[in-house]
Amino acid sequence: MGLLDKILGRGGAADDTPGPFDCERVKAAIGPLATALGALADAMDTDGAPMSNPGWSGRVRDLRNASGQLRMLASRPSFEREDLFDVFVGVRPLYRGTPPASYAHLSSLNDDVAAAIDAVQAASR
């Protein structure tokens, strides 16, 4: 079962079926994720960063946009699982697993993002 299927509650075993959507529980998990995404983007956008590389600058922009969209979603009085899906589909860490040598200095921030993504996934079930 994929990430999107888990968030939307499609398919899978009976124990993977999400329960009722608790907006407040998800909001509590969104804050740390938005903060972690912003911190990673800030660390990637330093004087020595390869911002002239379109891929790098695009990734920084994606992280900042995802952080802002999550903050906007969390500021709403209420939202549904589908609203979370619309924003969450674009949220991803810089990498998974062992960091490439050029990203080693971002390792702890990336780990924070990955853990926060997992927390939002868990809260949305």
Average of pLDDT values for 58-82?
93
The answer to whether 1 and 99 are in contact (CB under 8 A) is: no
State the pLDDT confidence band at 67, using cuts at 50, 70 and 90. Answer: very high
DSSP letter assigned to residue 100:
P
53: left (phi over 0), alpha (psi -120 to 50) or beta: beta
What's the mean per-residue pLDDT of the chain?
Answer: 85
Task: Give the count of beta carbons closer than 10 Å to the beta carbon of residue 75.
Answer: 10
Does residue 98 surpass a pLDDT of 60?
A: yes
| Alpha-carbon distances of 30 from 17, 34, 41, 108, rounded to whole Å | 21, 6, 16, 19
Helices 54-75 & 23-44 angle (0-180, nearest 10): 150
CA 108/CA 12 separation, integer angstroms: 32
Average of pLDDT values for 79-89?
91
The rounded percent of the chain whose pLDDT value lies above 90 is: 52
